[in-house]
Amino acid sequence: MTSDGTLTHDGLAPIGNGRVLLIACGALAREILALIKGNGWDHLDLQCLPAIYHSRPEKIEPAVRKAVAAQRDNYDRIFIVYADCGTGGQLQKTCDELGVKMIAGPHCYSFYEGNDRFAQMGEVTSFYLTDFLVRQFDAFVWEPLGLSKHPQLRDMYFGNYEKLVYQAQVENPELVEKAKECADRLGLAFEYRFTGYGDLKNTLNAL
């Protein structure tokens, strides 16, 4: 399996098998590959863009556009496994223009929880981590916010949050411990929430 570091900065190239290409965020690679393998979805191939675009949403739309242009002749269909992800509707506009579909929802926290349920919950003071983000907490949270050098900034970033919610895709006691540690470092209460793959599974199942 490709390392988290590679998924963060380089992404993942497609194998070249299957009729439908999924172009996804690198933060979803392990989960999508697990679903493909577990369900025998041999018609699906996966390409991932660098997961670090999570922190730079303005990079997502041009990268998706470029990937679709490069791969469109190699597959029957392309499906985008990015939610809006901070693009402010721009990714949806581009997908409409390119004639490709994308997964519904504002972000992965929502579709893992289930978009309808997430919207109903209306949590505004929760900070979310997924399996990938727990493993990559330093690369995606601690370092980019400068907290290793300037720990005094922590409460300026997180002072309005109340709890860290770890949305687990798989059961893994080690990750639970690490997520608790992340909550401690951020000065937040901790909540463990097993979501599984939520709407991601249902969406891919329909392709």
Partner 1 sequence: MSDEEDDIILSELNDEDLVAQMFDDLYDGMKEEIEEGVNILIARGWAPYKVLTEALVGGMTIVGHDFRDGILFVPEVLLAANAMKGGMSILKPLLIATGAPRMGKMVIGTVKGDIHDIGKNLVAMMMEGAGFEVKDLGINNAVEAYVDALIAEDADILGMSALLTTTMPYMKVVIDTMIEKGMRDDYIVLVGGAPLNEEFGKAIGADAYCRDAAVAVETAKALIARKHNSGAAT
Residues near partner 1 (CB under 8 A) are 57, 84, 86-89, 106, 122, 124-125, 145-147, 149-150, 152-153, 156-157, 160-161
Q: Which is closer to partner 1, CB of 3 or CB of 125? A: 125
Closest distance of CB 110 from partner 1, Å: 9
Q: Which is closer to partner 1, CB of 79 or CB of 158? A: 158
Closest distance of CB 81 from partner 1, Å: 18
Closest distance of CB 128 from partner 1, Å: 12
Q: Which is closer to partner 1, CB of 45 or CB of 84? A: 84
Helix (H, G, I), strand (E, B) or coil at 103: coil
Closest distance of CB 160 from partner 1, Å: 4
Cα–Cα distance, 45 to 16 (Å, whole number): 7
Going along the chain, which residue ranges are E strands?
20-25, 44-49, 77-81, 101-102, 126-129, 163-168, 189-194
Length in residues, the chain: 207
Q: Which is closer to partner 1, CB of 110 or CB of 136? A: 110
Task: Give how far the C-alpha of residue 136 lies from the chain's centroid of Cα atoms, to the nearest Å.
Answer: 12
Q: Which is closer to partner 1, CB of 141 or CB of 175? A: 141
Structure-block tokens of residue 156:
């300026």
Cα–Cα distance, 180 to 108 (Å, whole number): 20
Closest distance of CB 84 from partner 1, Å: 6
Which residues sit opposite 166 in a β-bridge?
129, 192
Cβ of 43: how many Cβ atoms within 10 Å?
14
